[in-house]
Structure 1
Amino acid sequence: MTVRPWRLSAADFAALSRGEGGAGAARALRLARRSRTSLLVRMIAAAPEARPAYRLLVDAERASPGAVTRVLDHPSVGAWATRTALALRRAEPARPEELAFVAAAAAIRAGVPAAVDFPDVPVFALPSLGVADPANLDYDPLPEVALGPHVLQLDVWAGGGVPPGLAVAADVDVARWRPAVAAAWDVLAADHPPMAAELAELVTVLTPMPPSPTGTSSATAADAFGCVFLSLAPDPETLAVTLAHEAQHTKLVALMDLFPLLLPDRREIYYAPWREDPRPLAGLLHGTYAHLGVAAFWRTRPGLAAQTEYARWRAAALDTAETLLASEKLTATGHAFVTGMATVLRRWCAEPVHPEALALATAEAQAHRERWTAR
C-alpha cells in the first residue's frame, strides 16, 4: 500500500487559523489523515495474523485504488487501526486479524474475488458497506443521505469499536434523519457555502446519538476522523450550526496530526464559557476553534437571536484565545495558529450588533461565569 508524506501550505495554514480553509485545505487535511491510517495499517500488517488480509488489500489497491481509499477513509477503520497499532506497540492484547474485515470490504468494492478467513465476532460488519452474512458476504448497505453531489452514510457502528465515552443509538430512524440532515445541508449550502464545502470534504459518516434531555448532543472523536456523532436538532438551523461546530473540531484533529500546537500538558485546567466543567489546555483549544466557527455561522444570519448568539460566542472565543496566548504553553506553531484566531475575533468583537443582542449575550456570559464560580 502507498503511504505518502503530506504537507500543508503556509496559505492553507493561515486560512485554517482564521477558521476558514475551504474545500482545498479540508481536502489536504483529509488526505493527510488517510496517509496516517495507511501507515497504521502497514504497522499492523507486520503481525502474522494480519498478513493474508494485507496481501488482499494490496491486490485490491492494484485493481482499484479508489475502492481501497473509500474503505480506509471510513471512520471505523481509522479508529480500529489506531487502537490496534497502539495495543501492538505496547504489547497489549490486540486483534490484528480483524484487518480481514477491512480487506474484504476493499475487495468487494474493487471487484476482486478472494477467499478470506475471518475472526469470530458477534456482528459481521464490513466498513463502509454494512452488516454482512459471513457465508456469502451479502450485506445490508448502510443508509445514505444525498446532499447535492455529496453522500453521507448513517452508521451506528454495529460491529463495535465506538470510541470510549460516546453513546450511540441502537438504530437509525432513516425516515427522520434523511430530511433533517438534508434541510440542515440546505442552510449551509445556501447561506454558508465555504462551510458546506468543508463539511463535504471532511465528513463521510453521521452516527446518531440517543436524544438528549437538555438539547442537541454532538461529538467528534479524534481517532474516528470523518464521523460526527450527534442527536437530531429541533430545527434545520440548529442542526446546521452543530455540523459547522463539529467540522471545526474535525479540521483541528487533522491539523494536530501534522503540527504540535501545545507544549506537554501539565494538567492545568481552565474556565471554558461553553462548559460547566473546567477544561485542560487541549480541550480549551478545541473549544475555542469550534466556537470561532459557531460565531462565523451566526455572524451573517439575520435576526435578534442570531445577533445574540454571534455576540455571545465571538466574545467567549476571544476570551479563551487570549487565555491560550497568555498560557505560555503553546508551541511557536501553536502561537501562530491561535494568533490567527484571536486576530479575527478581535475584529469581530469590534463590530456593532443590536444593543439588545449585546445585552442578552453579556447577561448570559455573566450568568455562566457565576454558575461556574459557585460550583
Structure 2
Amino acid sequence: MTVGPFRVSAADFTALARGGGGPSAVRTLRLARRSRTLLLIRSIAADPAARDAFALLCEVARVAPEAVDRVLDHPSVGAWATRTALAVRRGEAARPAELAFTAAAAAVRAGVPVDLEFPPVEVFSLPSLGVVVGPGLAYEPLPEVELDGFTLQVDLWAGGGVPDELPVASEVDVPRWRDALRAAWDLLARDHPGPAAEFAEVVTVVTPMPSSPSGTSSATLADAFGCVFLSPTPDAETLAVTLVHEAQHSKLVAVMDLFALVRPGGDAVFYAPWREDPRPAAGLLHGTYAHLGVAGFWRSRPGPAARVEYARWRSAALVTAEALLASDELTPTGVRFVRELAAVLRAWCAEPLPPAAEAAAATEAAAHRSRWQAAHGPLT
C-alpha cells in the first residue's frame, strides 16, 4: 500500500474549475482521496488495538492489492478513518479496533483467511461487501444496481457513521431504486455523456433517504467520498440533475483536499440563492460549483421548463461566484479557480433565452431574495 504525491496538471485544474475535468482528471481525484484514507489508517494503526488488523491489511495488499483498493474506496471507510484519526489526535474517545472490519472485508474479497478479534457489536458492516449480524463473517450482500459499464451499491450504513442530522431510510425498496437509477443513468449517458462519465468515475454508493415533504433531498458528506445520499425523486430527469449536482460536490471535495481554495479562519457569511440560511465561504463555493453543474445540465435540456431552470441557475451561480471574488475569503489558488468558474457562467448568461423564461427565472429569484431578507436582513 503506497502513498505518493498527486499532481493535477494546469489543464486539468482549469477544466475542473470550469465544471468538467473528464474521467482522467476525476480519476486522479479519486486516487488522491484513496491515498488520504490510507494515510489516516496508517496513523490509526499506531494504536495497539489496530495493529493486527493493519498487519492483515498489509498482507492482503501484497497478494491482492485490488481487493484493498476496492475496500479503501468505499465511502464508509473514508468516513470512519477521518472520524477515528481526528478523535485519536484530539484525545477523544475513539475505536481504532474497528479497523478489523476494513481489514476483514479486504481479506474476504481476496480469499485470505481472517483471524482477527472483532469489537463486541451485534451488527457491523464489511465495507463494500455487506452487513454481518451475529458471530462469524457470513454477511448479507449490499444490493447492487448494474449500469452500463459500472455498478452502484445501495448502502444504508448499518454499521453507523452517518451524522444524526442526515436521515437515512430504515429500509430500501431495491426494485424501485434500481428502476429509478437506471432510468436516470440512461438519460445521463444518452444526453449528457460528459457528466455521466465523471459520475461513473466518482460515485460508487447511493444511500436512500426518507421521502422529503419539501421535495427531493440529497447530500454529499465530505468524509464519505463516493457516496450520494438521496430521497426518492419523481422522475428520471429530476434524479439525473440531482446526481450531477452531487457529483460536482464530490469532485470539489477532492479538489479541496489537494488545493487550499478558501482562507482558513474566515467568519464571513453570504447569501446563497438556493439556501434559506447564510453560508460561509467554503459552503458558498460548494453550492456555486454544484449549481454550475446544474446550469450546464439544464442548458442542454429541451423544453420551456428547462429554459427557466437554466436561466435561474446560471444567474444564481454567477451572483455567488462574483460575491466570492469580491470578498477576501479566497486564497490565490481559490481566486484562480473561481475566475475560471465565473468565466463559464458569464458566457452562459450572455446567451439569449426566451423573454418568458428570463422573466420566470427572475420572479423566482426575487421571491427567494425576499424570503431571505425577511429572515436575515438586507443582503450584504
For the superposition of Structure 1 and Structure 2, which TM-score range results when normalised by the shorter chain?
over 0.9
- Name the amino acid aligned to 1:85: A
Matched, 1:111 2:102: no
Question: Number of aligned pairs?
Answer: 375
**Cα separation, 1, equivalents of 2:350 and 2:224:** 37
**Cα separation, 1, equivalents of 2:357 and 2:114:** 63
**Cα separation, 2, equivalents of 1:264 and 1:45:** 29
Unaligned ranges ≥5, structure 1: none
Contact 2:261 2:335 in 1 (8 A): yes
Q: Residue 282 of structure 1 corresponds to which residue in structure 2? A: 282
Contact 2:125 2:132 in 1 (8 A): yes
Matched, 1:157 2:157: yes
Question: How far apart are residue 169 of structure 1 and its match?
Answer: 0.4
| 1:101-140 superposed matches below 5 A | 101-133=101-133, 135-140=135-140
| 1:209-248 superposed matches below 5 A | 209-248=209-248
**Cα separation, 2, equivalents of 1:122 and 1:241:** 38
Unaligned ranges ≥5, structure 2: 376-380
**1:164-205 superposed Cα distances (whole Å, 9 cap, x missing partner):** 521100111101100001100011100000101110010000
Q: Residue 8 of structure 2 corresponds to which residue in structure 1? A: 8
**Cα separation, 2, equivalents of 1:2 and 1:29:** 16
SS in 2 for 1:272: coil
Matched, 1:68 2:74: no
Q: Residue 374 of structure 2 corresponds to which residue in structure 1? A: 374
Q: Residue 378 of structure 2 corresponds to which residue in structure 1? A: none
**Cα separation, 1, equivalents of 2:31 and 2:163:** 22
- Name the amino acid aligned to 1:137: L
Q: Residue 304 of structure 2 corresponds to which residue in structure 1? A: 304
- Name the amino acid aligned to 2:245: H
Task: Please report the TM-score for the alignment, with normalisation by the length of structure 2.
Answer: 0.97
Structure 1 residue ranges (4+ consecutive) displaced by more than 4 angstroms after TM superposition: none
**1:210-239 superposed Cα distances (whole Å, 9 cap, x missing partner):** 100010000000000000001111000000
SS in 1 for 2:92: coil
**Cα separation, 2, equivalents of 1:163 and 1:60:** 31
**Cα separation, 1, equivalents of 2:134 and 2:76:** 19
Question: How far apart are residue 134 of structure 1 and its match?
Answer: 5.1
- Name the amino acid aligned to 2:217: S
RMSD of equivalent CA atoms: 0.9
| 1:195-206 superposed matches below 5 A | 195-206=195-206
Q: Residue 190 of structure 1 corresponds to which residue in structure 2? A: 190
Identity %: 69
Q: Residue 88 of structure 2 corresponds to which residue in structure 1? A: 88
- Name the amino acid aligned to 2:211: P
- Name the amino acid aligned to 2:162: V
**1:51-100 superposed Cα distances (whole Å, 9 cap, x missing partner):** 00000000111111110010000000000000000111111110000000
**Cα separation, 2, equivalents of 1:180 and 1:75:** 22
Contact 1:142 1:153 in 2 (8 A): yes
